[in-house]
Structure 1
Amino acid sequence: MPRIPGVPTKEASPLLRVVYFYAKRRLGAVPEPFTVLARHRKLFMASARHELAAEKASKVLPNNVREIAVYRVAQQLGCSWCVDFGTMLQKHEGLDIERLQQIDDYETSPAYDRQERIAIAYADAMSATPTRATDEQVAELVAEFGQEGVLELTYQIALENMRARMYSALDLRDQGFTSGDACRIPVPADAPEVSGSGG
């Protein structure tokens, strides 16, 4: 159960109900972070616009590189919700999710190519406190992905750091996206088509 409860459908404004409907139609369930952030309407709207804009703008990097770097942040910071959701996104992109079990051995595992390895290393460097990114590392990334690619990678890694830290602080946990049944639906108990209990 999150430390701040989400807004259930029965308490949602008409606009929020539309957002919930769209999210559930697109993702199979309403992401619990949506419902929690909905307690602060202006931040919720700002976040929704930002997430959609960042998704639309991030088209320079290969999907596998961007997704594995973002996943690595979630895994390193211990955000179970982000790991769950990120695994689902990779699955829907047609990427191999079985290899995620080998991510701690990414430097030597044949499951990862060179581009993915340098992106994962960058995600690790950026997610450390303080950050450990170096001139040499960024230069290598620019040679591989170009300046726009590195800016996109940096932005997406930083964005996932924000998400993972916020969701972990609020105790938002995996929701069942990976299994496809979103067994811990947030909007919950008042959604008749949803089976299973919240929490």
Structure 2
Amino acid sequence: MARIHAVAPHEAGPLIKAAYRYTERQYGEVPEPFAVLANHRKLFLVSAGHEMGAQKASTVLPPNVRDIAVYRVAWTVGCSWCVDFGTMLQRLEGLDIDRLQHIGEYETSELYSDDERAAIAYADAMTETPTAATDDQVADLERRFGRDGVVELTYQIGLENMRARMNSALGIHGQGFNSGDACRVPWATEEEARKP
């Protein structure tokens, strides 16, 4: 259970309720980070718009490259929610999720392409504190993906660092999205307990 109460639909205003309905249709369940962020209405709305905008704008990189770099950040930071949700997104993209079990051996595993290895190494460098990205890495990525591809990759890795660190700090854990049978957000259990 998260360290901060997830806002239940009966506690939410009309905009947040509408957002809950949208995400429930999209993913089968309201993502718990979304419900925790709803405690701060303005940041919730900014975040929802930002996430949708970033998703729609990120079309330069092949999904396998972008998604594996983002997954690596979640795995490195140790955000079980992000790993769970990211695995589901890769599954829905039609990507091979079995190889995610071998993300720790990406440098030598035949399951990863050279482009994916370069993106994962960059994700590692960006996730270190302080960051350790190098001129050579960026130049290599620019040759592979173009300038807009490097910017997109950098943006997505940075965004996932923010998500993963925020979710980890707030105690938000895997929700079961990867299994296709998402766990209910906390209020669902509370509402069922209140029923006669």
- What's the TM-score bracket when you normalise by the shorter of the two chains? over 0.9
Stretch deviating more after TM superposition (6-15 or 18-27):
6-15
Amino acid at match of 1:61: L
Stretch deviating more after TM superposition (5-14 or 60-69):
5-14
* Higher helix proportion (structure 1 or 2): 2
Q: 1:187 to 1:55 in 2, by over 3 A?
A: farther
Structure-2 residue corresponding to 1:118: 118
Structure-1 residue corresponding to 2:75: 75
CA RMSD, 1 decimal: 1.3
Structure-1 residue corresponding to 2:102: 102
Deviation, 1:191, is 6.2
Amino acid at match of 1:169: A
Q: Using structure 1 for the length normalisation, give the TM-score.
A: 0.94
SS in 1 for 2:91: helix
Deviation, 1:184, is 3.7
Gaps of 5+ in 1: none
Q: 1:24 to 1:17 in 2, by over 3 A?
A: same
| 1:86 matched to 2:78 | no
Contact 2:6 2:186 in 1 (8 A): yes
- Give me the whole-angstrom Cα distance separating, in 2, the residues matched to 1:125 and 1:87: 22
Deviation, 1:13, is 1.2
Moved over 6 A (4+): none
Stretch deviating more after TM superposition (89-98 or 6-15):
6-15
Contact 2:29 2:184 in 1 (8 A): no
Gaps of 5+ in 2: none
1:59-86 Cα distance to aligned partner (Å, 9 max, x none): 0000000000000000000000000000
SS in 1 for 2:36: helix
SS in 1 for 2:188: coil
Structure-1 residue corresponding to 2:148: 148
Structure-2 residue corresponding to 1:162: 162
- Give me the whole-angstrom Cα distance separating, in 1, the residues matched to 2:132 and 2:9: 43
SS in 2 for 1:53: helix
SS in 1 for 2:2: coil
Question: How many residues align structurally?
Answer: 193
